[in-house]
Structure 1
């Protein structure tokens, strides 16, 4: 850029404008190095708090949704009714409960004894008794197989799916009592931290199904209150306190996190606020990575804490992975949003690579304007050019708040919000246009 161009009022060329922006960035960098170390220290503290608060926000909102939102909880656990591991576990549990309470071998032995006593010729009785001696264990084995097949068929049907949903809906009404240290009918918390639900209604339905299939011992099956373990943790009292604290903080943490981001951006030296916003996005992404690692560790500890005689490893994995699905969804949604904010703020910043991207993007709108023969930019275009940075920050902030306070954001919600914000930002870059005469004056 030459002083002659400035004196004549000629518009700046692209190279001259890029050089001017480079000099401004260098000047701002020198100002940062010489006079703003305390500002950046404060920014670092606020961004660290942002990551911690986002970690707590996602966890707290997950805990609250699973404990206090019955519809959401039922929607979360409903797929378990179709999970083969859960179906096998329930079929095994139902079969064991019935076989334990019905002595099929003993009843068969009694029937054999009655049959041999009615043999007319005493000489034939020992031979017949010897021939029938193997019948009770064979009948017991066949009966157990038949019971398991019937139970497996029942838990794979639509009737069980509805019964599973109804049972969990009723159980959920007692979950609040669990986290407050109280128990209610239908759900049980043992001293060792085991949380289980009653399968008595399902046993009754299986007994009815056995009777309909002609099972001779169906009328001998008593009222059985076997249980299906949902969770088992010796740390339940501590978890109760944590969940109650997270529930109270669920509505507060997002606002504090947003305040920390705004504070970090405002505290950053002038000319570096978009960089601070980009760092805030990275802080959020790192926080979600940390939450993912914590979830992996928790999963391992949970699976190790469930004895194999309480629940099969496959069923335990299916239960845990299904229940934490909303947490994984929220974690990924916030991570995607954070990376989107970091990328958007970086591309909107003063770096050479970001300027190159923006210049390349402006080529198409400039070509369209040149073909239309447009003259001076309109007032709206000049306004957008003068306030480009605040408008960028506003778009990114709205996108962040929209996703942060979305009740249960999915991947499609994240993609939709990010796409909408990206389109707005691209439209802003193409629409904003300064007055050349005003620039060169």
Structure 2
């Protein structure tokens, strides 16, 4: 009995040997080309959108990271504000303010009146008694000069600097008050102004003045311990922005980095997109640096000279944002280095010339080592056969070093970039210093992902 086909067996398909006609084959190729073009356009559009978002978020991400770092790290905050105690402009403001308050608490007119009465009681001539009233001005000037000298010595010495750093370290949480508008903090916002409470510092200075014989220094009132740092009608809006940046400080940089990485990965031409991304980041860092300069001008215009002299206000601003400015410059240098590396890996005449020259130089050095009896043998052959892989590992380790480095600077970026170049050159020399090349002369690295 003939066997019956299984019900679950698939029905016989069409003959796989069917041949398309010339017209059908041409139509098929046109459809494939159109689908490929649509796919590339979609990838370019998606990558461009991701890149645009990443570039727009880059300045805010850097500012958010700076805010989060300054607020949450006590050592970093103290490191930020500590130099203010050594700035002559800031010392002069504190000295003048304390001197004025001490002199104001000395009733010079009462002293002169008592002197006139004593002269009159002692039978001094009326002319002498009358002219004693003119001593008020010179007496006030002499008192001011004496107090100013004592206060200046105290403020310019180690006592003031230690008190300043100690007060800021103990009251580090007060920075949060400035950003959030919490009025219970020493650094707080009040009436559209940001004020710094120097209470601990003033107490130290007052004690030194009392020890020097100026008992009236102990009467310096509490309200005069405050120094206005910033005053503007837009403070409430700035506080809202700073609160948002504080919240996003941990996530916004990560989101920005992921968006940029996705843009490079999705784009059909990875190298070109990496070059464009690096150039875009460099431009945004320049925009941020220009913005900081503009904000500096606005800040200086917003602080009344009666509250804080222009030179002291400039010192306060420059000191407080110096780490943000340094981070922007560092990221600018990283972007430029990345763009340069992406360009040199491309097909341009200059890039090919640089790669060819480097290859000839390392090859000659490797042959010189080999002729001198320093054949790298199996290791050299392995390095020669895995040049692309080893290059990628070295570049990745360099990038990882910058990511893990605590607050890298422009000097750190230059150091890491120099070490990466040196390691790549050494590996290339070792790969050339072998007698039996694994695959012949290594091919010159070509462009990846587009023209």
TM-score under structure 2 normalisation?
0.79
Q: Distance in 2 between matches of 1:396 and 1:171?
A: 43
Who is 1:363 aligned against? 360
Q: Distance in 2 between matches of 1:428 and 1:258?
A: 30
Who is 2:154 aligned against? 154
Whether the aligned pair in 1 keeps the contact of 2:116 and 2:133 (CA below 8 Å) is no
Who is 1:248 aligned against? 247
Q: Distance in 2 between matches of 1:40 and 1:341?
A: 21
Q: Distance in 2 between matches of 1:437 and 1:362?
A: 10
Q: Does 1:59 align with 2:88?
A: no
What's the CA shift string for 1:222-259, capped at 9, x where partnerless? 14221122333333322222222222322223332332
Who is 1:333 aligned against? 330
- Residues 421, 44 of structure 1: CA spacing in aligned structure 2 closer, same or farther, 3 A cutoff? farther
- Cα RMSD, aligned residues only: 3.0
Q: Secondary structure at the match of 1:129?
A: helix
Alignment length (residue pairs): 397
Q: Does 1:112 align with 2:115?
A: yes
**Larger-gyration structure (1/2):** 2
Alignment of 1:67-216 (within 5 A): 67-103=71-107, 105-119=108-122, 121=123, 124-184=124-184, 186-192=186-192, 194-215=193-214
Who is 1:262 aligned against? 261
Whether the aligned pair in 2 keeps the contact of 1:274 and 1:345 (CA below 8 Å) is yes
- Residues 205, 182 of structure 1: CA spacing in aligned structure 2 closer, same or farther, 3 A cutoff? closer
Q: Distance in 2 between matches of 1:167 and 1:318?
A: 19
Whether the aligned pair in 1 keeps the contact of 2:183 and 2:190 (CA below 8 Å) is no
Q: Distance in 1 between matches of 2:91 and 2:244?
A: 35
Q: Does 1:278 align with 2:302?
A: no
Return the match for 1:44 from 44, 48, 66: 48
Return the match for 1:300 from 294, 297, 300: 297
Whether the aligned pair in 2 keeps the contact of 1:40 and 1:268 (CA below 8 Å) is yes
Whether the aligned pair in 2 keeps the contact of 1:334 and 1:403 (CA below 8 Å) is no
Return the match for 1:287 from 278, 284, 287: 284
Q: Distance in 1 between matches of 2:217 and 2:300?
A: 37
Q: Distance in 1 between matches of 2:442 and 2:63?
A: 51
Q: Secondary structure at the match of 1:167?
A: helix
Whether the aligned pair in 2 keeps the contact of 1:285 and 1:335 (CA below 8 Å) is yes
- Residues 268, 198 of structure 1: CA spacing in aligned structure 2 closer, same or farther, 3 A cutoff? closer
Q: Distance in 2 between matches of 1:118 and 1:407?
A: 75
Q: Distance in 2 between matches of 1:378 and 1:281?
A: 34
Q: Distance in 2 between matches of 1:134 and 1:237?
A: 51
Gaps of 5+ in 2: 1-35, 444-451
Task: Tell me: higher relative CO, structure 1 or 2? Use CA pairs within 8 A at least 6 residues apart.
Answer: 1
Whether the aligned pair in 1 keeps the contact of 2:50 and 2:259 (CA below 8 Å) is yes
Q: Offset of 1:181 from its aligned partner?
A: 2.8
Q: In terms of mean alpha carbon deviation, does 339-348 or 110-119 score higher?
A: 110-119
Whether the aligned pair in 1 keeps the contact of 2:383 and 2:390 (CA below 8 Å) is no
Q: Distance in 1 between matches of 2:217 and 2:208?
A: 14
Q: Distance in 1 between matches of 2:135 and 2:168?
A: 42
Who is 2:318 aligned against? 321
Whether the aligned pair in 2 keeps the contact of 1:151 and 1:206 (CA below 8 Å) is yes
Q: Distance in 2 between matches of 1:145 and 1:109?
A: 18
Q: Distance in 1 between matches of 2:353 and 2:365?
A: 19
Q: Distance in 2 between matches of 1:368 and 1:126?
A: 103
TM-score under structure 1 normalisation?
0.80
